[in-house]
Amino acid sequence: MLDFLNRIFGRESNQSRSVAKERLRLVLVHDRIGVSPQLLQSLKADLIQVITNYMEIDEDALEVTLDSSENQVALVANIPVRRMKRKFQTESA
Amino acid sequence: MLMGEVIVVTSGKGGVGKTTTTANLGAGLASLGSRVCLIDADIGLRNLDVVMGLENRIVYDLVDVTSGNCPFRKALIKDKRFENLYLLPAAQTKDKTAVSPDQMRALCQEIKNEYDYVIVDCPAGIEQGFRNAIAGANQAVVVTTPEVSAVRDADRIIGLLEKEDLREPKLIVNRYRYHMVRHGDMMSIDDIIEILAIDLLGVVPEDEMVVVSTNRGEMVVTNNQSRSGQAYRNIVRRIKGENVPMMDLEEGGFMRKLRRMIGLK
Ligand SMILES: Nc1ncnc2c1ncn2[C@@H]1O[C@H](COP(=O)(O)OP(=O)(O)O)[C@@H](O)[C@H]1O
Ligand SMILES: [Mg+2]
């Protein structure tokens, strides 16, 4: 019955349009990783640049991966810290 | 000497409307006075000729031309209904490997000296047939339907096109059903554009007249009563550089008839 009402009033929740969009969004996250392996490399370089403003890290041991489970893709970074910087500088400083 | 555009019509997924689009863009552009040559690059699965109603006039085909058996002018079929419309049919008995990307590039180069638009109908898939079809193109149109699988394949194709330096391909969403979108049962144009991040060239509604026209070997773009025809005419004008607003997708079907009946339009 609720489903019927939702249809009549064109509500979106739980309807196949949003399900489709969500599934598509997710599948493309996976697909696009496959298409551009340079992306992670470039992300890694950018990360190093930002993080070294705050702490000294072991750049060679730095690991960045995309972990995908069934309904989520997570960016996982393992960044060994050597030491914190006493004075940190930000972009604006 | 002319220096025409070579536009490849592609999709990844089969059956979404590449061939229909190629035929209608060709007829539409020709009826506005452009010189148009269509190339069916779907070797082994020739069907642009039947969609256009030209199947009985084929003598030579694409492979005859690329392999040097006959000059391209001799292989072209002139469409008698449109002053400036020509078709280079695919070979039916060969397979995709009968043509190479270099041969296609050379052929398109040659043809575009004599035509305003060369439109290449691409086979489904991302293998050699696709590589051949895009080889000579300088613009790409990606066709999709509002379904997860079709949009996913479109995304893949867009990535591959950009790798081949066919930057900024344009999107046609075909078989759009407004009432389903309204009821939340089909992705909207905005949904699709947001996900693919690509420019929209046009939206063609689902329309039985496409099937009726195709049955007869006619192109719906010439049918002034049909909404899909209107959609194709708009797309054609956009290709020619005109700024044509998107048509009101809401129109059509029961509500429009009702509004007309009670005199609201
Ligand atoms: N807008 C539309 N409305 C209804 N039917 C359509 C529409 N566009 C295409 N079709 C039908 O869909 C089928 C597949 O179209 P086609 O152009 O052959 O796709 P492709 O070349 O991508 O495989 C054909 O039967 C065609 O008549
Ligand atoms: Mg086809």
- CB atoms A32 and B187 under 8 Å: no
Domain boundary assignment for chain B: 5-261
From CA A92, how far away is CA A65, in angstroms rounded? 29
- CB atoms A16 and B159 under 8 Å: no
Residues in chain B: 265
pLDDT tens digit sequence for A16-72:
999 999 889 888 887 887 656 677 888 889 999 999 999 999 988 888 887 777 677
- Give the ipTM: 0.78
pLDDT in the model for residue A76: 87
For tokens 């899909």, the residue is B228
Q: Are B228 and B207 in contact (CB under 8 A)?
A: yes
From CA B51, how far away is CA B24, in angstroms rounded? 10
Q: How confident is the model at residue B265 (pLDDT cuts 50, 70, 90)?
A: very low
From CA B172, how far away is CA B15, in angstroms rounded? 14
Ranges of H-type helices in chain A: 2-9, 16-35, 38-51
pLDDT in the model for residue A41: 82
pLDDT in the model for residue A93: 45
Q: How confident is the model at residue A74 (pLDDT cuts 50, 70, 90)?
A: confident
- For residue B94, give both structure tokens: 């060969």
The best mutation among B157, B210, B227 to test binding of ligand 1, ranked by most ligand atoms within 8 Å of the C-beta, falls on B210
pLDDT in the model for residue B255: 57
More confident residue, A93 or A46: A46
Query: Percent of chain B beyond pLDDT 90?
Result: 87
Cβ of B21: how many Cβ atoms within 10 Å?
Answer: 25
What's the rounded mean pLDDT across residues B222-232? 96
pLDDT in the model for residue B1: 57
Confirm or reject: Cβ of B15 under 6 Å from ligand 1.
Answer: yes
Fold of B5-261: Rossmann fold (3.40.50)
Kindly tell me if the per-residue pLDDT of B13 is higher than 50.
yes
pLDDT in the model for residue A12: 46
Supply angle C-alpha B72, B75, B78, rounded to 5.
110
Confirm or reject: Cβ of B211 under 6 Å from ligand 1.
Answer: yes
Task: Decide: helix, strand or coil at residue B184.
Answer: coil
pLDDT in the model for residue B223: 96
From CA B241, how far away is CA B246, in angstroms rounded? 14
pLDDT in the model for residue B10: 98
pLDDT tens digit sequence for B151-198:
999 999 999 999 999 989 999 999 999 999 999 999 999 999 999 999
From CA B82, how far away is CA B91, in angstroms rounded? 24
Q: Are B100 and B65 in contact (CB under 8 A)?
A: no
pLDDT tens digit sequence for B118-150:
999 999 999 999 999 999 999 999 999 999 999
Kindly tell me if the per-residue pLDDT of B261 is higher than 80.
no
Task: Decide: helix, strand or coil at residue B54.
Answer: coil
- Ligand 1 atom closest to Cα of residue B214: 27
- The alpha-carbon gap from B43 to the nearest alpha carbon of chain A, in Å, equals 27
Parallel, antiparallel, or unpaired for β A81-84 and B5-10? unpaired
pLDDT in the model for residue B214: 96
- The alpha-carbon gap from B150 to the nearest alpha carbon of chain A, in Å, equals 10
pLDDT in the model for residue A67: 77
Cα-Cα-Cα-Cα dihedral of B122, B126, B130, B136, to 10°? 120
pLDDT in the model for residue A1: 53
pLDDT in the model for residue B143: 98
pLDDT in the model for residue A26: 84
Q: Supply the mean pLDDT for chain B.
A: 93
Instruction: Let me know if B232 is exposed, middle or buried by CB neighbors in 10 A (0-12, 13-18, 19+).
Output: buried
pLDDT tens digit sequence for B38-50:
999 999 999 999 9
pLDDT in the model for residue A31: 80
Confirm or reject: Cβ of B217 under 6 Å from ligand 1.
Answer: no
Look up the pTM and report it: 0.83
Kindly tell me if the per-residue pLDDT of B19 is higher than 60.
yes
Cβ of B109: how many Cβ atoms within 10 Å?
Answer: 12
From CA B211, how far away is CA B217, in angstroms rounded? 10
